[in-house]
Amino acid sequence: MGFDFDRIIDRRHTSSSKWEKYAGRDILPFWVADMEFATPDFIREAVAERLAHEVIGYTRTPPALVEAFIGWLSREYGWAVPEEWLVWIPGVVPGVNLTARAVAEPGGAILIPTPVYYPFLSVPRNAGQASLTVPLVRQKRRWVMDFDALQNAVDSSDVGRPHLLLLANPQNPTGRVYDRAELTTLADFCLRNDLTLCSDEIHSALVIDPDARHLPIASLGPEIAERTVSLFAATKTYNIPGLPCAVAVIPDPELRRAFNRARAGLVPDIGPLGYAASRAAFADESHYLPDLLAYLRGNHARLAEVVGDRMTPVEATYLGWIDLTDTAAAPHAGEYLEQFGIGLSDGGPFGGPGYVRFNFACPKQLLEQGLSRLAAGLETLR
């Protein structure tokens, strides 16, 4: 059965976060990271099957989900993970915050390469830690980590001892998939400086560049695995962020205990519908994902045509990071473009003022409307 990514689906009157923001205004939303595509039937059927039972009670993690997730990690990355390493949680963002609370220490600081998915930037404050942001560096065709600047931030920190680094890989918003050499350097950096690593890998299945390959950093070897909390979820890939379900892979028993202690009494268990949806997702071996990635690749090519060198090629995610820092629209580029009927994420909250983030996971017809509005906005900035 084919998957129809061209169909326009009216999401108004569903209280959609993305569409409600601009309700009643002629502004097309391309901001928050959910997709305009139907959640695949096999996921909705798995949820419907669970709903067919009349009682929606408290639920333990189903063994079939654990098996599907462990099988997925092994199939995709050749990474063998025992069940005891897993902690299931209702969301990746709670997982990042729990990690920070689990390892918080008096006078501690957290390293965060930026720009980054904006909830990362509140994590230090939430955990009572200082924040040390270190800019990524833009090369012509990709964003990279600046290891000298990271080392310098550790060596000369005057806000506290850096002991945790927050990684988004694949990276939101730049779309980078860090390669083996970069991840190895990062792992060495963490070992050398005694840092815990929290690696958010929610976009791992959304690699659209045929030459890029995602690698979970903890799969590099036991030394880095022992100091890493890796976070996964199927919610981006299968467009089910409204059915929260995520999993932390924590090989070190002490770190896992601290993570569970930080969670106690605050973070609820996952519901049966979230479990059912994610079980179907991790077990999926249909054409859905290759077809989705091919469609996203086409959309990415169209966006690249319109914005040119303002964006580095997106290796993974469905998010384009567009540089308007040299224009009169900076630093409030998001707000500026709203005048042209297009709602993007402003770069400011990501630590990238003057940039905008464009979510291109939508039917081509909608994308083209957005692109012509974006082009009109860019034209005025020439």
Ligand X SMILES: Cc1ncc(COP(=O)(O)O)c(C=O)c1O
Closest alpha carbon to 318 in 360, 364, 365, 371: 360
Residue from 27, 65, 86, 93 binding ligand X (CB under 6 A): 93
Q: Does 202 bind ligand X (CB under 6 A)?
A: yes
Residue from 241, 320, 343, 351 binding ligand X (CB under 6 A): 241
317 by Cβ neighbours in 10 Å (0-12 / 13-18 / 19+) ranks as buried
In three-state secondary structure terms, 265 is coil
Mask 111-150, x = binds ligand X (CB under 6 A)?
Answer: ------x---------------------------------
Comparison of 200 and 346: residue with beta carbon closer to ligand X = 200
Among residue numbers 17 through 56, which ones bind ligand X (CB under 6 A)? 33
Q: Does 233 bind ligand X (CB under 6 A)?
A: yes
Comparison of 118 and 336: residue with beta carbon closer to ligand X = 118
Q: Does 235 bind ligand X (CB under 6 A)?
A: yes
From the list 86-94, 133-141, 288-296, 340-348, the region that binds ligand X by CB under 6 A is: 86-94
Between the CA atoms of 189, 219, 113 and 159, what dihedral angle is there, to the nearest 10 degrees?
A: -50
Q: Give least dist CB 328 to ligand X, A.
A: 29
DSSP for 24-65 reads TSS-EE--SS--SSPPPHHHHHHHHHHHTSS-----PPPHHH
From the list 19-27, 240-248, 270-278, 370-378, the region that binds ligand X by CB under 6 A is: 240-248
Contacts of 59 (CB under 8 A, 6+ apart): 269, 270, 271, 272, 275
Among residue numbers 156 through 175, which ones bind ligand X (CB under 6 A)? 168, 172
Burial 34-63 (b: 16+ CB within 10 A, else e): bbbbebbeebeebbeebeeeeeeeeeebbe
Residue from 36, 200, 338, 346 binding ligand X (CB under 6 A): 200
Q: Give least dist CB 110 to ligand X, A.
A: 16
Contact between 319 and 331 (Cβ < 8 Å): no
Gap between the Cα atoms of 51 and 59, Å rounded:
13
- HSE, side-chain direction, 13 A CA sphere, residue 325: 12
Q: Give least dist CB 158 to ligand X, A.
A: 29
Give the H or E element holding residue 359: strand 355-359
Q: Does 91 bind ligand X (CB under 6 A)?
A: yes
Q: Does 359 bind ligand X (CB under 6 A)?
A: no
Gap between the Cα atoms of 10 and 280, Å rounded:
25
From the list 91-99, 174-182, 326-334, 351-359, the region that binds ligand X by CB under 6 A is: 91-99
Comparison of 36 and 200: residue with beta carbon closer to ligand X = 200
> 152: how many CB neighbours lie within 10 A of its CB?
12
Comparison of 246 and 277: residue with beta carbon closer to ligand X = 246
Gap between the Cα atoms of 95 and 97, Å rounded:
5
Comparison of 113 and 241: residue with beta carbon closer to ligand X = 241
Comparison of 92 and 281: residue with beta carbon closer to ligand X = 92
From the list 85-93, 205-213, 219-227, 259-267, the region that binds ligand X by CB under 6 A is: 85-93
Among residue numbers 250 through 309, which ones bind ligand X (CB under 6 A)? none
DSSP for 143-204 reads EE--HHHHHHHHHT-SS-EEEEEEEESS-TTT-----HHHHHHHHHHHHHTT-EEEEE-TTT
Size of residue set near ligand X by CB under 6 A: 14
Task: State the residues that interact with ligand X by CB under 6 A.
Answer: 33, 91-93, 117, 168, 172, 200, 202, 233, 235, 241, 244, 246
